[in-house]
Amino acid sequence: MNADVLVVGAGLAGLHTATRLARRGHDVLLVDRRTRPAGAVRTTGIFVRKTLDDFPLPAEHLGPPIRRVVLHPPRLDRPVVLDSERDEFRVGDMGPLYEAAARDAADAGVRTAFGTRYAGRHDGAALLAGPGGPVRVRARFLVGADGARSRVAADLGLDRNTHLLVGAEEVFPLAGSGGPPTFHCVLDPTLAPGYLAWVVDDGRHAHVGVAGYPDRFPDGLRRALDRFRALAPRVAPGLALPDDVERRGGPIPVGGLLRRISCADGLLVGDAAGAVSPLTAGGLDPCLRLSDHAVDVLDDALRTGRPDALARYDGAALRDRFRGRLALRRGLARVRTPAVATAASTLLRTPPGRAAARRVLFGDRSFPTVAAPSPVDQSTVEPYISPSGSEISSMRAPSGSRK
Ligand SMILES: Cc1cc2nc3c(=O)[nH]c(=O)nc-3n(C[C@H](O)[C@H](O)[C@H](O)COP(=O)(O)OP(=O)(O)OC[C@H]3O[C@@H](n4cnc5c(N)ncnc54)[C@H](O)[C@@H]3O)c2cc1C
């Protein structure tokens, strides 16, 4: 089988990349080992205002707007309530949202294959294992949208995530909870070491979850979630927990955007590229914005036939813009005892503390956007042999800025 681009992984990053590439006229094959787009959802699905402003997400698959965030200390007494004048968050109904995105992909001309696992590369071809048996795919470019533990990254010799949190949550429908839609965050390192426990209640669904460094949960992630579930009605008074819940979970890369995310044969998007805010662990906005950049770069490379366009897809350059958030992540990682968490919560009650929390939660910052690539400078073109050895093409020598 042949394709211009093989995208591995039909999460939001892969679906977005594949659809936009197909809309620009390229032949795209999108594969995922899950048997259907809505299977095994791994995210709470909180979209921030900037994403809702900039990307056309289907409104019918988004919950009611949330304007209130409540920050709770470990003892759950004297929480800090922050209200915004704007709609700050909406929680996606992720199963239907992925299904709608997969339909958009097919409508754009993407060939999709679910239940199909990427199993490696050999002689410049990708090996797929699908329902009909093994298939070899020759694609000009391989895109790794295969999540935090990306196999494509390993096969392309690119950087890989090493700094990971793990998260788990329970989701269930609500018949309205009476109060305003609210995002509760609990700062307690015995429940969520290095991150937060959360209850999101938008009146239609509730999400009860914890995340943290995997080796720091006192009695494991599952037990931490069980303990937090028991506390959830105190965090969000009136919340009734049913027995029948949907369970979600997975790794979250928080080490910042990886430096080396492209080579002559392909590139990484989404979690595979480490495109997650190190502080908030939000990855939905970054995966859409980085995918747009990837599409510009791949489109340029396919149109000009000059794969040096991929050298512009440089994580090292973008990573510099994460310095502040990486420093705050290190700060959050240092909150190791309830006493420190209580002290931090006391600071959050002060006017400067509240202002800082509002900036992080309600601010206008998002994943850095990247200007579309400018035309290739002809004077720097020289012969290039791809790492697979299978192809000789014209490519500018990698710039010195690549690491
Ligand atoms: C519990 C939890 C809650 C979260 N909540 C939020 C939130 O509320 N808001 C937010 O902004 N971010 C959140 N995040 C982070 C966010 O969900 C991710 O950053 C985002 O979904 C990443 O999308 P992706 O497409 O890169 O990866 P994924 O959605 O992980 O998709 C990767 C896909 O690749 C497929 N795949 C992997 N390997 C192979 C293979 N070998 N062959 C074929 N297919 C393969 C997988 O099946 C999967 O479908 C959360 C993360 C977790 C774990």
Q: Across the 403 residues of the chain, what is the mean pLDDT of every consecutive 10-residue run? A: 97 98 98 96 96 94 97 94 96 97 98 98 95 96 98 98 97 83 96 96 95 95 96 91 92 96 97 94 95 96 89 91 83 88 92 92 76 44 29 29 28
Question: Both 309 and 324 in a single domain?
Answer: yes
Question: Both 310 and 245 in a single domain?
Answer: no
Q: Could you identify the atom of ligand 1 that is nearest to the CA of residue 146? A: 34
Evaluate: CB of 147 within 6 angstroms of ligand 1: yes
Evaluate: CB of 396 within 6 angstroms of ligand 1: no
| SS3 (DSSP) at 76 | coil
**53 within a domain of the structure (yes/no):** no
Question: 328: domain CATH number?
Answer: 3.50.50.60
Ligand 1 centre distance from Cα of residue 324 (Å): 24
Question: Both 213 and 328 in a single domain?
Answer: no
In which residue are the tokens 């073109």 written? 381
Question: Both 208 and 221 in a single domain?
Answer: yes
Question: Both 205 and 233 in a single domain?
Answer: yes
Closest listed residue to residue 144, CA positions, set 38, 39, 259, 261: 261
| pLDDT for the residue 371 | 60
**57 within a domain of the structure (yes/no):** no
| pLDDT for the residue 28 | 98
Question: Both 396 and 382 in a single domain?
Answer: yes
Name the token pair of 280.
Answer: 């908030």
Question: 358: domain CATH number?
Answer: 3.30.9.10
CB 297 within 8 A of CB 273: no
**51 within a domain of the structure (yes/no):** no
- 262 DSSP β-pair partners: 267
Closest Cα to atom 2 of ligand 1: 43
Ligand 1 centre distance from Cα of residue 195 (Å): 18
**138 within a domain of the structure (yes/no):** yes
**107 within a domain of the structure (yes/no):** yes
Evaluate: CB of 212 within 6 angstroms of ligand 1: no
Ligand 1 centre distance from Cα of residue 13 (Å): 8
Evaluate: CB of 252 within 6 angstroms of ligand 1: yes
Ligand 1 centre distance from Cα of residue 233 (Å): 28
Q: Could you identify the atom of ligand 1 that is nearest to the CA of residue 91? A: 8
Question: Both 217 and 99 in a single domain?
Answer: no
**54 within a domain of the structure (yes/no):** no
| pLDDT for the residue 243 | 84
Evaluate: CB of 253 within 6 angstroms of ligand 1: no
Residue type, 150: S
**393 within a domain of the structure (yes/no):** yes
Domain that holds residue 348: 65-91+164-252+337-364
Evaluate: CB of 33 within 6 angstroms of ligand 1: yes
Evaluate: CB of 276 within 6 angstroms of ligand 1: yes
Q: Could you identify the atom of ligand 1 that is nearest to the CA of residue 250? A: 53
| pLDDT for the residue 217 | 95
Question: Both 190 and 237 in a single domain?
Answer: yes
Question: Both 156 and 231 in a single domain?
Answer: no
When divided into structural domains, the chain yields a total of: 2
Cα distances (Å, whole numbers) of residue 132 to 36, 113, 124: 16, 11, 22
Name the token pair of 299.
Answer: 């489109």
The torsion defined by the Cα of 194, 367, 106 and 28, in degrees rounded to 10, comes to: -100
Dihedral sign for Cα atoms in the order 6, 114, 105, 207? negative
Question: Both 159 and 170 in a single domain?
Answer: no
| pLDDT for the residue 177 | 63
In sequence order, the 6+-apart residues with CB closer than 8 A to the CB of 14 are 7, 8, 30, 32, 143, 145, 146, 269, 270
In which residue are the tokens 């294959």 written? 113
Cα distances (Å, whole numbers) of residue 300 to 29, 262, 264, 265, 391: 18, 14, 13, 14, 19
pTM value?
Answer: 0.90
Question: Both 182 and 258 in a single domain?
Answer: no
Residue 12 backbone dihedrals phi, psi, to 5 degrees: -65, -40
**236 within a domain of the structure (yes/no):** yes
Q: Could you identify the atom of ligand 1 that is nearest to the CA of residue 118? A: 42
Question: Both 258 and 285 in a single domain?
Answer: yes
